Amino acid sequence: MKPIPDRNSFLKYMVPVEDARFLILPVPYEQTTSYGKGTKDGPDAIIKASRYLELFDEDLDTEPYLKGIYTLAPINFEKGSLETSIEKIYKEVKALPIKDKFLISLGGEHSITYPIVRAYHEQFHSMTVLQIDAHSDLREEYEGTIYSHGSVMARIKDMAGIVQVGIRSQTKAEYDLIRQRGIHTFYMHTIRRDSLWKEHVVEALGDHVYLTIDLDGFDPSAAPGVGTPEPWGLSWYDVIDLVKLVIERRHLIGSDIVELAPVPLSVTTDFLAAKLAYKIMGYIAAQGG
């Protein structure tokens, strides 16, 4: 018998958490946003949009939800400093069975990725973080903190390999650091001239890959609901075709989707993020994962 869909939460069906292949973790965290605000409302907006997803994927000829999807309670950030909030995310993810299940965390600002990757690194010591983003996020610190959304990859780079895709906004210092450290960065101005760029991205990855998707990596025409939109970004098919290729050729161990800042009277980005999460699950299910 198929599980009975429950439209009251993000793809949460009548299966016990221990039977779910996929876990969804809402992380409504926002403390260091520097332009558009509202990322704390991102997880709830994605969850609301997900109620209207069709469960059948015509591209894959399958219903990914049958693998079992369970939505965890949102992390509570009512009290605590920036540092204690980052530590709280780490402890929450560390307590989850991330080696046995596939976790998709919903942000929240991009700084949530550091503590999540820290928890993954303790389980998968050799790993690559694939970053889809408009910005390098490699500042050593930004606006007085090393835990800023603009510094998240600076924290990660000493813990795991980094491959960046869709970059089109950075400082000169970040540009120099990328060259000095040999970080694989696929800029938009080179992607659009290279028909094989997805192959080159996958070649740069290790066996175990964690995927972080900042929604401003998409072109604003596809995802306008972000705090720092940049023109000339990735298309829907750029992203999902790359994700599919990564899942086919590497071991994708976890993912997050961050930086949704809901736009009043527009659900475009909310729905794109919900469908993107479901698409990731679909590709994993199609591979027998």
- Burial track 71-105 (b if 16+ CB lie within 10 A, e otherwise): bbebbebeeeebeebbebbbebbeebebeebbbbb
86 Cβ contact list (under 8 Å, min separation 6): 111, 114, 115, 147
Q: What is the pLDDT of residue 1?
A: 32
Closest CA to 184 of 129, 134, 246, 127: 129
Q: What is the pLDDT of residue 195?
A: 96
Instruction: Categorize the per-residue pLDDT at 2 as very low, low, confident or very high, splitting at 50, 70 and 90.
Output: very low
Task: Provide the percentage of residues in the chain whose pLDDT is more than 90.
Answer: 79
Give the global pTM: 0.94
H or E element in which residue 120 lies: helix 113-123
CATH number of 5-286: 3.40.800.10
Residue 8 has pLDDT above 60, yes or no: no
Give the three-state DSSP class for 115: helix
C-alpha 124: how far from its chain's center?
18
Q: Where are the domains of the chain?
A: 5-286
Compute how many other C-beta atoms are within 10 angstroms of the C-beta atom of residue 286: 17
